[in-house]
Structure 1
Amino acid sequence: MTSFTQQLEKIKTQKGFIAALDQSGGSTPKALRLYGIEEDQYEGDDAMFGLVHQMRTRIITSPAFTGERVLGAILFENTLDREIEGKPSAEFLWQEKNIVPFLKVDKGLAELENGVQVMKPMPSLAQLLEKAKAQNVFGTKMRSFIAEANEAGIKAVVDQQFEVGLEIVNAGLVPIIEPEVDINSATKAEAEAMLKQFILAKLDELAEDQLVMLKLSLPDVAGFYQECIDHPNVVKVVALSGGYSRDVANAKTAENPGLIASFSRALTEGLSTQQSDDDFNSALDTAIDSIYQASAT
């Protein structure tokens, strides 16, 4: 079996969740601050990315972080270019931890228009996909943002996500399509209804061998995305915590059978650079177990 085939089988059949360790330029200072490192403790992007890589390395090398409960991990390109214990990060994840590597490929969000933010252009996507494939990366992730229930805006988000998604499929990887809906939107439920309609229409256009994953905000209505979970072209539907606390995000995930977590901030909640390794590993183990249990429904 190829690595891709083994990875696909793991994501499809094993219980667990996907760790989102892909904070990039704009979100890295906040991630470091929550970890106990203030912005006045480093200067410049190189130092910042060096520190966040240390944080991610501490998480990934922890005895709590294994493929038994963690199905996959989403990395930022800067992490892909770095090593963990002498191995390229993606290869360390798969070979040493049996965790499927994914890569964040979007370049951030465009300005708000029609109630949404589509993705900025990705002119170097083909080269990035080639690099990812060479390192046994299984899939990608790209995020758009929906602030309100605007039909034209949501259609534009879904159209762009699937257009780029097909390019990723054609490069031999599985895209995680992430049209996040703002959990604080006054029209969240209406936006989710529009989003599901457009997603299902796009899924029905795919050929049998064109596989995708979906990363969606936790819905207001339990079981709302069951049609997406059951769709033959969908490997897995994963949920982002979207600003909910870990406890609330876990409870909402558990209400949706077949939906699994792909948390970032909710995963690292309570972890600190000041913790001893024993305390850090214990806190991470508690977090991982709670998210795993919520995802196992």
Structure 2
Amino acid sequence: MNTRHFERMKNEEGFIAALDQSGGSTPKALAAYGVHEDAYANEEEMFNQVHEMRTRILTSPSFNSEQILGAILFEQTMDREVEGKFTADYLSSKGIVPFLKVDKGLAEQENGVQMMKPIPDLDDMLRRANERNIFGTKMRSVIHEANYDGIKAVVDQQFEVAKEILAAGLVPIIEPEVDINSEEKEKCEDILRGEILNQLNQLHEDQNVMLKLTIPTKPNAYEEIINHPRVVRVVALSGGYSREEANEKLKDNEGLIASFSRALVGDLHVDQSQEEFDQSLNHSVSSIYDASVNK
């Protein structure tokens, strides 16, 4: 484990950029950027386009370590280069901590939740992540209903995989997202908090994790998790909220910082001049940083 990166994630101010859209969500991410499906003929060309978009973001002076602590990457992005360096090494050269999305997407909904699909090549992916100087990982499940058995199963699966990641010397970001449109959102969060704390209390002193959670309906509902000795950091997903709404909700939660995706890059467009692009990204980065640190 990179101890400098660990101390940065544990103690410094800023937020985490989520740039980890994968195969299923890539066309939507590209379309929002102004690159539509007629601009690429196959999957390889699609991923070339998305890497160009991500390279433009990562190399912008607005994407800086003064405000951004870390960035979450898609597997293909990890294996590609930015300005002659593998992406994680490029990020590290800018002082930004690299993470890797490791899940393979969501299973069908059952018991009010969507578990992670199996990750059959996890060991190989973790080995390559270490070779590429990745610091940590991220994996996502989704909770739709306040079904205790479903939520418990999500948390159990997340922590089971997290322990494999810890054994490989990486820091896992555990992401059991609560759907912001759930009619039982606050009740889901109450059950989720209890199950997370139960798992955290079973970790050994050398097992430290991060969590990525939906901004709770009740401010500071995750305070006990944020302050738990086994937790490096708790970050928040935007979950479909607009950047403005997500920022306002985030400000009400002490110690919670952002890890936004759409809310971070939603104003960027392929046809913007470099100056327009940098200004737009700077506005987004600055507002999310302010919401993460000004409590």
Residue 70 of structure 1 is aligned with which of 68, 71, 74?
Answer: 68
1:168-213: CA deviations, max 9, x gaps?
Answer: 0010000000000000001111111000000000000000110000
Rounded Cα–Cα distance in structure 1 between residues aligned with 2:99 and 2:193: 24
The residue aligned with 1:237 is: 234
Question: Structure 1 residue 39: deviation in Å?
Answer: 1.3
Rounded Cα–Cα distance in structure 2 between residues aligned with 1:276 and 1:109: 37
Rounded Cα–Cα distance in structure 1 between residues aligned with 2:47 and 2:266: 19
One-letter amino acid matched to 2:280: A
3-state SS of 1:148 partner: coil
Rounded Cα–Cα distance in structure 2 between residues aligned with 1:280 and 1:232: 40
One-letter amino acid matched to 2:75: E
3-state SS of 1:205 partner: coil
3-state SS of 2:2 partner: helix
1:115-169: CA deviations, max 9, x gaps?
Answer: 1010011111011101111121110000001111111100000000000000000
The residue aligned with 2:200 is: 203
Question: Structure 1 residue 8: deviation in Å?
Answer: 0.4
Matches within 5 A, 1:83-122: 83-95=81-93, 97-122=94-119
The residue aligned with 1:169 is: 166
Residue 179 of structure 1 is aligned with which of 176, 189, 192?
Answer: 176
The residue aligned with 1:6 is: 4
The residue aligned with 1:28 is: 26
Pairing 1:188–2:185 present = yes
Pairing 1:49–2:53 present = no
One-letter amino acid matched to 1:92: Y
Residue 267 of structure 2 is aligned with which of 266, 270, 275?
Answer: 270
Aligned length: 294
Question: Structure 1 residue 18: deviation in Å?
Answer: 0.1
Pairing 1:142–2:136 present = no
Structure 1 runs of 4+ aligned residues shifted over 6 Å read none
The residue aligned with 1:19 is: 17
Rounded Cα–Cα distance in structure 1 between residues aligned with 2:153 and 2:66: 38
Gaps of 5+ in 2: none
Rounded Cα–Cα distance in structure 2 between residues aligned with 1:90 and 1:59: 14
Pairing 1:249–2:246 present = yes
Rounded Cα–Cα distance in structure 2 between residues aligned with 1:30 and 1:53: 14
The residue aligned with 1:60 is: 58
Question: Structure 1 residue 40: deviation in Å?
Answer: 1.8
Question: Structure 1 residue 13: deviation in Å?
Answer: 1.1
3-state SS of 2:201 partner: helix
Rounded Cα–Cα distance in structure 2 between residues aligned with 1:18 and 1:287: 13
Rounded Cα–Cα distance in structure 2 between residues aligned with 1:239 and 1:126: 27
3-state SS of 2:271 partner: coil
One-letter amino acid matched to 1:184: N
3-state SS of 2:104 partner: coil
Rounded Cα–Cα distance in structure 1 between residues aligned with 2:162 and 2:42: 33
The residue aligned with 1:39 is: 37
Pairing 1:289–2:270 present = no
Question: Structure 1 residue 17: deviation in Å?
Answer: 0.2
Question: Structure 1 residue 44: deviation in Å?
Answer: 1.4
One-letter amino acid matched to 1:29: P
Rounded Cα–Cα distance in structure 1 between residues aligned with 2:42 and 2:149: 39
Rounded Cα–Cα distance in structure 1 between residues aligned with 2:216 and 2:50: 31
TM-score (norm 1): 0.98
